[in-house]
Chain A
Amino acid sequence: MEAILIILALAVVVWVVSAPLRNPESTDLAPAGDRASLEVAKEAKYREIRDAEIDWRTGKLSDEDYREQDRRLRAEAVEILRELDRLAS
């Protein structure tokens, strides 16, 4: 009984693990572009914009400081979007 279970486990493991090697469609590792890291940077920038707004609304930033920070953060976000557009084109 135990021998049958061991053979069965071995067969399942070999079949599962070797499947990608038997499939010729998936043998090329796509080069990792900068897109993924730009997407992460974009999300982080949006979060930063939102945090600055919360900081302003909870009194940690004056109107003037908030305007300055918000302008700068949005300009940085625009740069990231342009980079993403450039990669897409």
Chain B
Amino acid sequence: MPVFGRACLIIALALTVYGIGAAVYGARAGNRGYTESARRAMYATAGLVTVAFAVLEVAFLRSDFSFVTVATHSSTTTPFFYKAAAAWSSQEGSLLLWAFLLCMWSSVVLTITRGRLRDVTPYATAVLLGFAAFFIGLLVFSTSPFDTVAGGAPAEGTGLNPLLRHPSMMTHPIALYSGYTLAAVPFAFAIGALIARRVDAEWIAATRRFALASWLALGIGLLLGARWSYVELGWGGYWAWDPVENAALLPWLTATALIHSVQIQEKRGMLKVWNVSLTLATGTLAIVGTFLVRSGVLDSIHAFVEQGNTIAWAFTGLIAICAAGSIGLVVSRRAMLASEHRIESLLSREAFFLGNNLVFIAMTFVVFWGTFFPLISEALTGTKHALGPPWFGKYIVPLSILLAVLSGIGPLLSWRRATAVNARRNFLVPVGIALAALAVSLGLGAGRRPAAELMFVACGFLLGCVGQEFWRGTRARRAMSGERLPVALISMVRRNRRRYGGYLVHAGIALLFAGLAASSAFQHIVTPTLTVGQSASVGGYNIHYDRATANISTRAGSLEKINLGGDLTVRKDGKLVTRLHTERGYYPTDDSSLGMISRYFEGEQTSEVGLKAGTRQDVWTVITPDTDPLRPVISKGDKVFAAARNLPPSMGAALLGTAIRGIVDRYQHHPPPAQFRFIVSPLVTWIWLGAIVILFGGLTALWPPPGGATRRVRAGYLSRVARESTAPTAPTAPTAS
């Protein structure tokens, strides 16, 4: 089926080119037939790319090694679950996934906006088809997933990179790519609105949910990536300011700013230039993110591509077009992007939302500069200099503290203008909670890290603000409806999902920031070398190396990996806390320059972390076994098998199995000293809990309001406003209950 898959992509590419032309011609000539045809071109492209993606997936699931990409990224020993995910571990498979997701989201938005935004949608369709053309063009001309192996399919494939054999692999790339591709939707409609000169809030209303979905998907992707890093990479951290991590963080930061500032345009007709610029920046940064992941121009622990590949130039061109086109359009339409109103008071919600936006943009600039500094320094000095976590921390930590404070203040103020008396009354409880957080954290010894201490206080304040909002809203709802408290809470959230979903996100951010501050400021790390029976102390815990373990994992009758590890006992004040097991997996390589035995110890290696996670502290352990004492035996085995290469295959395989089993047993019964990495980090679990709360809040905000309720509210206001239009008397405020 590779010919059919390739043909689908070629037809899809032709369709995108036709669709771009039809959409632009239809918009210019006012011919609806062509714009409708362009919309259908997007649907048909989506259908063809879906078929192409299905062809590739089937090839992976069937281990069809006649496909080059299957032969180089999968094997018969790759678990079924990971065979499905292996498709996007390759360059060509991940670009196909990008194109597939883009076409899907584009089709969804074009269906939703059918019959609306008639002068904007054709240009947006052309932009979306342009993105699709770029990615499908790469798949057709540069890196095809349907190339076949010359001279027939090999019996076995290389296998999936062992580091990618983690459940997150199934969801992490899909979440990140969904975030990137969803960001293309508001980008396309912003371009369409600017070209069509219709820069009111209509295009924002039509695509706001896509911006929110993009933000949410990027957030999920970032979280899953952090979790993968924590439990799989063997260094004990969840965030390293790695270029690929930053690549997803950049559009997430601008999208977060956009989600806040877009409310000001919807309500006040202000910040039009700002919003359209943020939308365009988010879309462009999504392409930058894909570029960083797929091009390999920056060294990354997350990049699994060959360095210096040719698609880098194509991406650079696309980014340049997106950036230059965006700036040119915004500048040329600046007159019609003027604000309808001005900020009336600095003590208003919009003023603090704007402040929060400025913090996000400052963070974006810091992350952008730090990420691209190696390229900048190389261009200027000829040497790549990377900026490490301390450099990022110097700027991001104070900005995050400020952000937490602003996130708390903004929602407690009313739109337009708040009075000092009301503000004072509203801040009493949150400030009290912040002071309580200060007292508790000082009592626990957090005072020796002032930045962390400040963050705890800011997070306490933010949680106090959110809690107070929920309490007051629920109380008001109960007073109006007479419902019981839990029912009033649920119906209040149901009727104001955007507002209270946002508050939940703020609560999640507070938990996450507190976890980040505690785990980075009060982490204890030791890297002892222990023999069986020895112990090491870390963060008040005693960790004892009980025994060495060694075993062989097999799959589909073949050796999958050799595991060398250790059992540990963790005690605190003499009391048993937990028992942990950590091991290192050695995957065989097909490198024929190595001896038959060496191949089983010189391939890819992965770490299995021994982790005791708790709400207060995590105890994290990993082992790096010393295989040097096994070298003489391995070398001897290599020589024996080199001399016996004419043995019948079945006999050779049996002898090889026996030899490896012997080496593994030798390690277990006479274990050499092993190096360990023990980490005790407080509140790491809060990071994951915060992320779950953010996810829940994001979904709450994203979920459409109940139709009946919306209609009732709309009808109520319609009649009320209609009454006002006939009765000249001033309305009276409803009675507070």
Contacts and interface: CB of A to CB of B under 8 A. Distances in A.
Interface of A: 2, 5-6, 9-10, 12-13, 16-21, 23, 26-32, 36-37, 40-41, 43-44, 46-63, 65-67, 69-71, 74-75, 77-78, 81-82
Contact of B499 (A6, A31, A51): A51
Contact of A21 (B19, B37, B473, B499): B37
Contacts of A53: 734
B8 interface: yes
Contacts of A66: 733
Interface in B189-210: 196, 198, 200-202, 205
Q: Can you list the 7 inter-chain pairs with the closest CB atoms, starting with the nearest?
A: A20-B36, A57-B476, A58-B472, A29-B32, A32-B119, A37-B200, A27-B33
A52 B713 contact: no
23 contacts: A6-B7, A6-B11, A13-B11, A13-B15, A17-B40, A17-B44, A28-B31, A29-B26, A29-B31, A32-B198, A36-B116, A44-B205, A46-B717, A47-B267, A52-B414, A56-B733, A56-B736, A60-B413, A60-B422, A65-B414, A69-B416, A74-B720, A77-B721
Contacts of B450: none
Contacts of A6: 3-4, 7, 11
Interface in B50-95: 51
Given A36-B117, A70-B731, A28 B30 contact: yes
A18 B205 contact: no
B722 interface: yes
Contact of A10 (B11, B116, B413, B720): B11
Interface string B682-726: 000000000000000000000000000000011001101110110
Is the contact region of chain B dominated by helix, strand, or loop, or is it mixed? helix
A54 B499 contact: yes
Interface residues of B, number: 74
Contact of B202 (A10, A40, A52): A40
A29 B30 contact: yes
Nearest to A37: B200
B32 A43 contact: no
B731 A26 contact: no
Contacts of A75: 724
B725 A81 contact: yes
A40 B201 contact: yes
B419 A54 contact: no
B7 A59 contact: no
A60 B34 CA distance: 52
Contacts of A56: 733-734, 736
Nearest to B205: A40
A53 B476 CA distance: 11
Contact of A2 (B3, B117, B725): B3
A18 B37 CA distance: 6
Contacts of A27: 31-33
Nearest to A58: B472
A10 B36 CA distance: 19
B734 A61 contact: no
A9 to B, nearest CB: 6
A35 to B, nearest CB: 10
Contact of A60 (B201, B267, B418, B480): B418
B415 A48 contact: yes
B183 to A, nearest CB: 22
